Amino acid sequence: MKKTLLSLALFALLGASATTASAQAAMTPGTVMVGGEAMFANKNIVANAVNSKDHTTLVAAVKAAGLVETLQGKGPFTVFAPVNDAFENLPTGTVETLLKPENKATLTKVLTYHVVAGNMTADKIMAAIKAGNGKATLKTVSGGTLTAMMNGPKNVVLTDESGNTASISTYDVLQSNGVIHVIDKVMLPK
């Protein structure tokens, strides 16, 4: 009995090691880890986001707003993706209220305020900031604007229309249909 349990444990350990090794072998150079999971450039925005433990609230919101199909589309899209903590730092009850079916239009506006058409990598954003003498205005899919500025030599910060500021913590999470930049705050349109 002990031998059988030991064999099963060893088999499970080797299987887990093989799975981890094959996952690492599948990672290409430039693959970024987000929320403890690899984000693969050959997958779309939604396929990667659902695996990030740091973006469960964002994924739930995208589903509630009916934006899954859109963000699986051809794009390209640039998504500024707030982490779970960013949603938790909103006033109490905000997320729950936004997720109610009767608030779908408001939720959609908030989420699409985090999306810019095109493939805006960090280099492109920084070049736009330089060309704009320290500021770049990014037109969001919702019709609003985000202002990008430098905070130090390699740190981009975004300011929403209400003056709230978010820092990008992870840049250039490349997707098959665009790019994700992880941010630490939820941006809110006027």
DSSP 134-153: T-EEEEBTTS-EEEEEESSS
CA distance 138 to 77: 12
Same domain, 8 and 64: no
Identify whether 190 is part of a domain.
no
Same domain, 66 and 152: yes
Same domain, 21 and 36: no
From first to last of the 190 residues of the chain, give the pLDDT tens digit.
Answer: 433 333 333 333 333 333 333 343 344 556 787 877 778 889 989 988 988 899 999 999 999 999 999 999 999 999 999 999 999 999 999 999 999 999 999 999 999 999 999 999 999 999 999 999 999 999 999 999 999 999 988 899 999 999 999 999 999 999 999 999 999 999 999 8
Q: Are strands 77-82 and 115-117 parallel, antiparallel or unpaired?
A: antiparallel
CB 122 within 8 A of CB 148: no
Give the residue numbers spanning the domain of 99: 32-183
Q: How many CA atoms lie within 13 A of 94 on its CB side?
A: 11
Global model pTM greater than 0.85: no
User: Using CA of residue 147, residue 148, residue 151, residue 155, what is the dihedral sign?
Assistant: positive
Same domain, 52 and 109: yes
The greatest distance separating any two alpha carbons of the chain, rounded to the nearest whole angstrom, comes to 73
The predicted pLDDT at position 12 comes to 35
Domain tally, the chain: 2
CATH code for position 88: 2.30.180.10
Q: Tell the residue number behind the tokens 């913590």, with chain if given.
A: 169
Same domain, 106 and 40: yes
Same domain, 10 and 98: no
Give strand pairing partners of 28. Answer: none
The predicted pLDDT at position 86 comes to 96
CB 161 within 8 A of CB 114: no
The predicted pLDDT at position 162 comes to 92
The predicted pLDDT at position 116 comes to 97
Q: Are strands 136-139 and 115-117 parallel, antiparallel or unpaired?
A: unpaired
SS3 per-residue string spanning 3-30: HHHHHHHHHHHHHHHHHHHHHHHHCCCC
Identify whether 189 is part of a domain.
no
